[in-house]
Every structure is written in structure tokens, then in C-alpha cells.
Amino acid sequence: MRRWLLISVPYLWLLVFFLVPFFIVFKISLSDIATAIPPYTPTFDWSQGLSGIGTFLSQLDFENYFFIFEDPLYLNAYWSALTIAAISTFLTLLIAYPIAYGMARAPKEWQPTLVMLVILPFWTSFLIRVYAWIGILKKEGLLNLFLMNLGIISEPLTILNTTTAVYIGIVYSYLPFMILPLYASLEKINPSLLEAAEDLGSPPWKAFWQVTFPLSIPGVLAGCFLVFIPATGEFVIPDLLGGSDTLMIGKTLWNEFFNNRDWPVSSAVAVVLLLVLVVPIVLFQRNQEKQREAGR
Amino acid sequence: MRRFSWFNATSIALGFAFLYIPILLLVIYSFNESKLVTVWGGWSTKWYSSLLQNEGLLSAAWVTLRVAVVSSTLATILGTLAAIVLVRIGRFPGRTLFSGLIFAPLVMPEVITGLSLLLLFVAMNVDRGFWTVVIAHATFSMCFAAVVVQARLYDFDKSVEEAAMDLGAPPVKTFLQVTLPIIAPSVISAWLLSFTLSLDDLVIASFATGPGATTLPMKIYSQVRLGVTPEINAVSTIMIGLVTIGVIFASYTTKRASARQEREMKAVDAGAK
Amino acid sequence: MSETQALGASPTATPGAGPTRATVRTPAPQSGFAPWKDPSKSPIVRFENIVKRFGDFVAVKECTLDIYEREFFALLGPSGCGKTTLLRMLAGFEKPTSGRILVAGEDITELAPYERPVNMMFQSYALFPHMTVEQNIGFGLKQEGMPKDAIAARVEEAMAMLELSRFGKRKPHQLSGGQQQRVALARAIAKKPRIVLLDEPLGALDKRLRQQAQFELMRIQETTGTTFIIVTHDQEEAMTVSSRIAVMDHGQFMQVATPGDIYEAPNSRYVANFIGDVNLFEGKVVRVADGFVEIDWGPGLARFKSVAPEGCVADQQIWLALRPEKVRIAFEKPSEASNAVPGKVVDVGYLGSISHYHVELANGQRVRALRANSARTVARTINWEDSVWLEWPPETGIVLTR
């Protein structure tokens, strides 16, 4: 009895505020835009009873989905969000791996401090950290100033408001999410495994590819999912750092909702984005559960 | 893993430079006399004093702080309960859905979470404002809180709770006298994490809010879109400073606690001889 | 503070210098204390047809068992045999799938752990890490709502009994393994429960400490007059501490008897093998006469004679169990012995006080024999490849029917 009380409080909360809203999003994605409050039709009318449900259901259709799939704007936005997320995930992995590897090999007494230094930026505002790059990347910004003073370039580079700036922003913002799982899996590797590999005739760089890297794959996977999934739906970074030609679906959804006030279409965009992300999200949860099982 | 090489040291140094230089530049330029962000006009604190006159920013900061305190407290309670359900109550009908509901918000794009919550509030016909933002923040933070507490509960020896019951403590007493004190550090970090998540959130708050409840990130965002201003640098510096002080304070107190424990042990040892 | 100091301070905890098993158990010497033989005594614990299933796995199969007041009862078996499950059902952490558990005649099957008159010492000790030794020991008393000064007195008493008085203000992580073990025991006895349950209580200690702790457990059990039920996989530990042992396998009791009976009169090959070392000869009953049985254990081999077990009939398949220390080994064929087999020594293990011999018989079977090295020099030592005779009187072998 008490058990059910304990379960029901967080369960009901999540059902009401997380699961039910998705059904509402789905329902509205089948509705039509209207100049009303709320700005969609039909709305459900309780006073009509059962026949009301019938007329209500008959007015729903998949029109918005056809619209999304016919307009190349949306398809491009999905596709470019996925490619930008994939490329930046790969870049983040390239940068994070040597850092995590160095941290795992650092003297034991430094490691807690190093981990804290990786986490610390995560505690400071995401928005502020993205904002910091505007001042650095813009035409008269600090990076161009620095490079021109060194004489490396004579003309300022255009980085801000390009896709390059979006890559930089994603890599920078999500770097801790990649370093931490990598470090966790690298740190667990028993050093005598490497000694054993070398003892059996494998030079260090080979031992790395034969022993260290395969053992760190769970961390690599966890890190990649943790970067890829939220980066696909990212809004702040493409909005602040990207240009008008940088299409990302999160930004499209935002504009559709706040600027065009088209709630049904933005709901349909959200439903499709969710369907696109279901595969990586489920794979990620599988990976996590496998790790937890193996850890016990 | 041993044998720390030059390659390792260089990667760490470059990595941390990449992580920290943008933040450092932001802080330095908040003390810039010149209004042009890229031109150094000498040291000045004038942007900080002009902040104090900016009532819009100040009231947004106050709203943000209140939202963060209330929502993180709510999130910690709900998250701790959820963690206990996941770890301590084995199988129950609907468990798979429950663990999915805890997990999904962690990776769900914010635009989707925000939009769906807004549509819920509209459908429920509630006035949007302070409380809707609190509920929105509590909902996604509770999942982070649950993960933090869950990790602690997993490496918690269950027989300690059994021992308490065996000695006559009913479940609720066992939780309050034994479980909670042992997991307290993770509950506190869950609260701190929820607090910063709430402080930081722009997207979900933008969807869930209504008139009169503009949060600081929303305010910053609307100004940032118009360009870089030293005033925003100053606000950011204050926020970074507060977080840094918080983190340093937290690590200092835990260090002091462990040092005290060591001293106690030595004293006891001396007394025992 | 070193381990030796802490434990050495306890006069009974030092093996050798301390009292032997017989003196520790003075009020209940093995011959006198046998409530299970007394039909007028009623048991303090009764397991009645207990079955426990975890999904498809049957952990405990139809177990019925009586345990009496002041017993030190051991549940002994390999891991996964159901002994811990049985103990946890008595503590209330697991519910039996069917059957009843009675304590002092009262059905406690449905009671929650915190409503039962038993206290448990956990394998991991399960000390509350955020409380001092005193708070740990006093926890159960506090739950009863006992007044503060009474709690303090009882805690003091328990700490004194276990030589813990100096550590009262310490936290568990500031104690050694042996000290933690004693805090766990003190906590389990502080409420003066009628029954104390011990789940592998000494598993985490090293061998030397474990022996000391075994004597300490016996002393505490004796002075408090409490019923102790211990779960262990260590047969030596069970033999040392307990008044009776239940040998378990696959969720069933194989034999419930005193340590002496378990060793000298095992009822099955499983028990004979599990407790100590044993030689087994498989054979067939030729005939039963005058309380003795004649055993044919292979064509062309001299028949064995042994004391007949109850209900033994001709042609029945049986096993003869023979403890190595009961086999005499000699160069010459003994004249009057009823059982003697020739063989060849294939292995000798010299252990100082005793020597082990592995002797291969004509049919290829190997037999182990033990001999005490009582004389410092012997005219001729038994060595590899020596031809020897093994001999034992008919009373020493045990005929097993299963």
C-alpha cells in the first residue's frame, strides 16, 4: 500500500507533465491553424458529449505532415541538423579523447581536480558560454584581431554566422559530456593490461589500438549519444552563432512557433523530430543498461 | 593507467585552454571601459554600476532565483522518490515505462519538452507565469536529480537498511534515520544540479512562461540577439563568479569535513593508548 | 591501536591460552545439553513445511526444523543451498512461498522484520556509517523508546562484553575489520533478543582472527543464554561453535545432528563428503548377520565386514565410508584384523604433526590414510612405491545406503 503511494507520486508527475503533453502535441499536429485562442482548431468541446468526440475526430488529419514532407525547407532542416550533429559529435570525440586519455593517465591525486575542472564550465550558464564565442568569432572579434596582429592573415575571416561557428559552438558546449564518460571508461582500465600487451610484444601505439581503445568503446558510445541527441535538436547555438543559411530543425521549430504562430505545424515538426531521435535514444538507453549490468 | 607523458600533459593543457579562454575573455572584457567590446579602453567597473540601474535585468534575476529555488527543491524531492522507486522497489507493473520516463528528459531536445509543456498548459487552461515555469523546470530537473541519487543508491549496501528494520525501525523511520543521512551528499548535489539547470534554462522557460515571469536567460537572450554589450558581459561575470564561489565553497567544506574526520580519528587513537 | 592488542585483551579470545571447547560450554556440556531429545521441551523456533521459490528457482524445499532455547544452531552448506534464505525468512526479509514459521509457539510468518523478536548480525556487518559505535549499538534500543540513560547503560554493558568500551565515539570506518565485527555483534545482542541470527558472521576475517572470534561468539552465547543461529559454509566453524548442525544441499536438510554425530555417523555420502575427508568404497551387501554386514566390493577382492545399519538387506547397493585417520597403515599384514587390503603408496604428504598417505589398491582405487608422527625417529619410514597393508576394525567404517 505504502509502496504504491511511493511509486505513484513521481510516476503521476511524469505522466502528467511529460507523457501526456506528447499526446497533446500529437493531437495538435493533426489540427488546423486558426485565428483564435488557442490558435488551432478543432478544440475539444465537452458539452457536446459523445457526438462531440465524433465530429472532433473527423476534423483531424495528417495535412501538416504532408506539408512538412512536401516543403524542402523542413526536410533540409532535418537533414542538416542530423549532419551538423553527426560531424560535430565526431569532432568532439577527436578533441575529447586525448584530453580524457591524459586525465586517466595523470597522477591519481590530480584526477579529482581535473574532473572538477571539466565539470565546472558545465555549471556555468550554457547561454553565457555560447555568448562568449560571439565576441571571439565576429569580424572585428578577438580571434581575427589576434590572428591579424600575428600576421597570419591580412583580411579578417568570416566565421560568425556560418556553419563553422555552429560546429565550434557545439564542440565547445558539449565537450564535457564527451570527456566525462570517456574518462570514466579509460580510468577503469587496469594498467597491467597494457603491461601485459607490451610484455607479449605489442609496442605502445599498437597496444593502444589493441587494448585501450576497444576497452573504452562503451565510453565512446555513451559520449557520442550524449552529444549527438541534444545537438540534433539544438536551438541556442545555431540561433546565436549560425547564419541565416544554417538550417537546423530546432531553430525551425522555434521560428514556426514564436514567429509564424503556427502551432499545428510546429507540433508536427516536433513529432517528426521525436521519431527521428527515437532510434538513437533507445540505443543509448540499451548501452547504458548494458554498462550498468556489466558494472554489477 | 600510468606513465603520464608530454603528449598527455599537452592535450590536457590545450583542452582546458579551449574550455576556459572564452570564459576568461568574457570576464576580462566586462571590465572594459570602452563600449566597443573588442577595443580595450582601460579597466572600469562602470558596467556593473549601470547594471544596478537596469531594473528589467534585476527583476528578471529575482524571478530566476525564485524559480530556481522552488523548482530545484521540488525536483530533488521528486527525483529522490523516483530513485528509490527505481533502485529499491524491484518489479512493479509499469516499471519499464517509468524508467523510460526518467531517462527520456535527459536527452530530449529542449524545444520538444518546452513545446509539449506549453501545449499542456494551454489545454489545461492555466495562466502561464511563475508556477508554470517552476513545474516545467521541476519536471526535467527531477530526472537529473533521480540519476544522481540513483547512482548513490546503487552502491549502497542494502543490508544497512535491513539492519535498521531488524533492530525495530519501521520503513519510514529507517528511511529518515538511516537511508537519508547516508545518501544526503547525493541529495545535496542533486539539488545543486537542479538549481543550476533551472538558472541556466532558456528554451523551456521561453515556452512555459507567461506575462510577468521573464527569467534572466530570456532577458540576456533578447539583448544578445541585438549584439554583444559590456553589460551582458558584466551579468555573465557575476553569474560565473557566483557559481565558482559555490563550487569552491562546496569542495572546501567537504575537504574540511574529511580533515576533521582525520583529526577525530587521531584524537581517538591517542585516547585509546 | 593494533588488532592484537584489542583482541589479546580478551582473556578467552586467545586460542591456546584460552579455555578449550569443553570448558566454555560448562553449563551445557555435550552430553547433558540435548533439549531436542527431550519430548517435554517445546522448540523456540519452528520451521513448518517451508517452501521458498524465486520465480522458477526453488531455494528451499519443504523444510521442517525445530530449534531449542539456548542452542547454538548451525545451518551449513555450500553457497546457494538455501541456508541464507532460511535465515532471512526467520528475520522477515523474505516471505515463505508456503509454510509457517513459529517463534515460541507464535506464528510470525506475516510479521514485518521490525516486529520480530530476533536480531541479525549481517555478513557485511551493515553498520550505519554515519553513526558512532555507541549510536550503532543503541539504535535498536532507541526504536523501542527506551529512556536515554537506560540505553546508555545497556550500550555500555554490550561494549564491555565485547571489549569495545574504548571505541564508543568512533565511526565504523575508523575501526579495523575485527572491531567492526564485534560492533555488529554487540548491536545484535543489545536488545537482548531471544534469538540472534548470524549470517556468515566471520566470513570477512582472516583465519587467525576467525578462530579467536569463534571462541568469542561461543562465550557471548553462553553468558547471554541466547539462542544463536549461524549460517556458514565453513564446516570447521560449524563444528567448533554449534550444539547442532543442519547440513543443507539444494534447499533440503541432508542431516540434522550434533557435530559429533555428523562426523562419526553421517547419514549419506553427501554429508560424509561435506564434513571432513572420507574414503568411499562402493559395494553390495552379501549377507547380514549378528549386527554385521559383509560387503562385496569387487570380484576377486577380500570382502569387508562392517557394522550393519538399520534395515540393511542382502544384495542392496551400499557405500562404505572410512575416515582417513581411522585407517591404519603397516608393512606387514595384520594377523587378526577383520578388514585388510594390500596396496602401493603413490603419494606421501608430510605435514609435521601428521603424514598423509595415498595408497593405490589392486583395482585402481585410491585410499587416503593419516598417521600421527608421534615418534621423532622411526626405524623405517613409509615411502613412495612401498607395498603396504591398510587395516581397520569393523566398527570404524560407516555403511551408507544413499
| Per-residue model confidence as pLDDT tens digits over A8-67 | 999 999 999 999 999 999 988 888 887 777 777 776 655 666 666 767 777 778 888 888
pLDDT tens digits, one per residue of C172-189:
888 888 899 999 999 999
* Residue B58 grid coordinates: 534585476
Answer yes or no: is pLDDT of C1 > 50: no
- Model confidence band, residue C17 (pLDDT cutoffs 50, 70, 90): very low
Pairing status of strand A40-41 against strand C45-54: unpaired
Count of CB pairs separated by less than 8 Å, B with C:
78
Cross-chain residue pair B166–C91, CB shorter than 8 Å: yes
Contact at 8 Å (CB) between B178 and B160? Answer: yes
Contact (CB, 8 A) for C398 and C279: no
Cα separation, C161 vs C3, in Å, equals 17
Q: Does residue A24 share a domain with residue A75? A: no
Task: Report the half-sphere exposure of C270 (CA within 13 A, side-chain side).
Answer: 14
Residues A5 and A94 in one domain: no
Nearest to A19 among B12, B101, B233 (CB): B101
Look at residue A266 and tell me if it is in a domain: yes
Pair A151, A197: CB distance under 8 Å: no
Nearest in space to A284 (alpha carbons), one of A87, A25, A11, A89: A89
Q: Is the same domain home to B184 and B261? A: no
Indicate whether A75 and A13 sit together in one domain: no
Q: Specify whether A165 is located in the same domain as A251.
A: yes
CATH number at residue B132: 1.10.3720.10
B271: closest CA of chain A, how far (Å): 31
CA B226 to chain C, closest CA, distance in angstroms equals 54
Domains and CATH numbers, chain C: 3-117+193-269 (3.40.50.300), 277-400 (2.40.50.100)
CB contact under 8 A, C113 and B165: yes
Q: How far apart are CA B49 and CA B62, in angstroms?
A: 17
- Mark which of B227, B243, B265 sits at the end of a domain: B227
Based on the fold, state whether residues B95 and B190 are members of the same structural domain: yes
- Grid cell locating B186: 547525493
Give every CB contact of residue A155 below 8 A, 6+ residues apart in sequence.
none
Would you say residue C387 has pLDDT above 70? yes
List all chains that touch chain C, counting a touch as 3 or more CB pairs closer than 8 Å.
B
A93 and A202 housed in the same domain: yes
Contact B152, B84 (CB under 8 A): no
Residue C22 is predicted with a pLDDT of 37
Q: Please check whether residues A82 and A213 belong to one and the same domain.
A: yes
Secondary structure letter of residue A209 according to DSSP: I
Q: How many Å apart are CA B203 and CA B219, to the nearest integer?
A: 12
Q: Which of A267-276, C147-156, C255-264, C282-291 has the lowest mean pLDDT?
A: C282-291
What pLDDT sits at residue C19?
38
Split at pLDDT 50, 70, 90, the class of C15 is very low
Residue C16 pLDDT greater than 50, yes or no: no
CATH of the domain at A123: 1.10.3720.10
| Smallest Cα distance from A56 to chain B, Å | 15
Q: What is the pLDDT of residue B206?
A: 93
Are there at least 3 beta-carbon pairs closer than 8 Å between A and B? yes
Which residues, 6 or more positions from B23, have their beta carbon under 8 angstroms from its beta carbon?
A121, A124, A128, A129, A132, B240
DSSP three-state, residue A59: coil
Q: Let me know whether B205 and B73 are in one domain.
A: yes
In a domain, B48, yes or no: yes
B269: in domain: yes
Summarize pLDDT for C293-343 with one digit per residue, the tens: 888 887 777 778 888 777 777 788 888 888 888 888 888 877 776 788 888
**Residues A21, A106 within the same domain:** no
Enumerate residues 6+ apart whose C-beta is below 8 A from C391: C327, C328, C329, C330, C334, C337, C339, C340, C341
Is any Cβ of chain B less than 8 angstroms from the Cβ of A291? no
Domain total for chain B? 2
Assess whether B38 and B70 both reside in one domain: no
Tell me how far CA of residue C153 lies from CA of B251, C158, C226, in angstroms: 40, 9, 20
Condensed to tens digits (0 to 9), the pLDDT of residues B69-123 reads 999 999 999 999 999 998 888 788 888 889 888 888 887 888 999 999 999 998 8
Residues of C within 8 A of B162 (CB-CB) are 91, 93, 113, 120, 122, 126
Question: Touching check for C114 and chain B: CB below 8 Å?
Answer: yes
Regarding whether B255 and B168 lie in a shared domain, the answer is: no
* d(C-alpha B142, C-alpha B180), whole Å: 17
Share of chain A above pLDDT 70, in %: 94
Instruction: Give me the DSSP letters along B133-145.
Output: HHHHHHHHHHHHH
Chain C residues inside the 8 Å CB shell of B172: none
**B212 in a structural domain:** yes
Do residue B167 and residue C1 have CB atoms under 8 angstroms apart?
Answer: no
Same domain, B190 and B73: yes
Give C-chain residues touching B170 at CB under 8 angstroms: 112, 114
| CA B214 to mean position of chain CA atoms | 20
Domain extent for A10: 1-30
Please tell me which residue, C57 or C307, carries the higher pLDDT value.
C57
Residues A20, A100 share a domain: no
A16 falls within a domain: yes
Domain range holding B62? 58-227
B47-68 pLDDT, tens digit each: 888 888 888 888 999 999 999 9
Mark whether B28 and B140 lie in a shared domain: no
Distance CA B184, CA B165 (A): 20
Q: What band does B267 get if pLDDT is binned at 50, 70 and 90?
A: low
Strands (E), C266-386: 279-289, 292-296, 304-307, 317-322, 328-330, 339-350, 354-361, 366-372
CA distance A140 to chain B (A): 7
Please check whether residues A109 and A22 belong to one and the same domain: no
Query: Does A80 lie in the same domain as A26?
Result: no
Give mean pLDDT, residues C11-29.
39
Q: Does A61 reside within a domain?
A: no
Cα B165 → chain centroid: 34
Confidence band, pLDDT 50/70/90 cuts, at residue A1: low
For residue C248, the cross-strand partners are C253
Mean pLDDT, residues B215-243: 86
Torsion of CA C127, C133, C134, C136, to 10 degrees: 0
Quickly state the pLDDT bin for B269 (edges 50, 70, 90). Answer: low
- Other Cβ atoms closer than 10 A to B242: 12
Asked if residue A232 is part of any domain, the answer here is: yes
In-domain check, residue B16: no
SS3 (DSSP) at C344: strand
Tell me which residue in A121, A240, A273 faces B112 most closely, judged by beta carbons: A273
Q: Which residue has the higher pLDDT, A100 or C402?
A: A100
Instruction: Look at residue B5 and tell me if it is in a domain.
Output: no
Q: Is C287 helix (H, G, I), strand (E, B) or coil?
A: strand
Cβ distance of A17 and B119 shorter than 8 Å? no
What mean pLDDT is reported for chain C?
Answer: 83
User: Do B125 and B85 reside in the same domain of the chain?
Assistant: yes
Which 8-state DSSP code applies to residue B93?
T
Q: What is the ipTM of this complex?
A: 0.85
Residue B216 and residue B248 share a domain: no
CB C86 within 8 A of CB C74: no
What's residue B165's pLDDT? 92
**Number of domains forming the structure of chain A:** 2
Q: Is residue A46 assigned to a domain? A: no
Contacts of B221 in chain A (CB under 8 A): 127, 236
pLDDT digits (tens, 9 = 90+) for A111-157: 888 998 898 887 788 888 898 898 888 888 888 888 888 888 888 88
- B221 and B89 part of one domain: yes
User: Tell me: the pLDDT tens digits for A175-208?
Assistant: 999 999 999 999 988 888 887 887 787 888 888 8
Specify if A215 maps to a domain: yes
- Residue C364, phi-psi category: left (phi > 0), alpha (psi -120 to 50), beta (remainder): left
Residue C163: CB atoms within 10 Å: 19
